[in-house]
């Protein structure tokens, strides 16, 4: 099982989208500086997580959240609030 996660930097309030088999473990890696893309934006918190059955599904969902439509939806969530964790 894979998770697609959306992180928010507490430093600059920007978001980061990724996927992993262990989102909590991956968050720890982000927060200790092992991930180059987020090293200077620590600390990070998980805003939303989706569970996917396969790697292919996780990649598709990650690409969606990184697209213009996905980014607009993230922006809407900041205004309206985030839904509970979704399972696909």
Element (H, E) at 23: helix 23-32
pTM of the shown model: 0.85
Q: What is the pLDDT of residue 16?
A: 95
pLDDT at 56 over 90: yes
Domain range list for the chain: 2-87
**Start-end of H helices in the chain:** 23-32, 55-66, 68-80
pLDDT at 85 over 60: no
Answer for the pair 20, 3: CB distance below 8 angstroms, yes or no. Answer: yes
CATH code assigned to 2-87 = 3.40.1440
């Amino acid at each position: 099982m894979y998770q697609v996660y959306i992180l928010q930097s507490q430093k600059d309030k920007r978001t980061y989208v990724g996927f992993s088999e262990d989102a909590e473990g991956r968050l720890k890696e982000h927060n200790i500086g092992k991930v180059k893309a987020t090293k200077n934006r620590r600390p990070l918190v998980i805003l939303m997580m989706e569970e996917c059955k396969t790697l292919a599904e996780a990649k598709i969902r990650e690409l969606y959240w990184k697209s213009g439509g996905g980014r607009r939806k993230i922006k809407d969530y900041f205004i309206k609030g985030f839904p509970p964790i979704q399972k696909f």
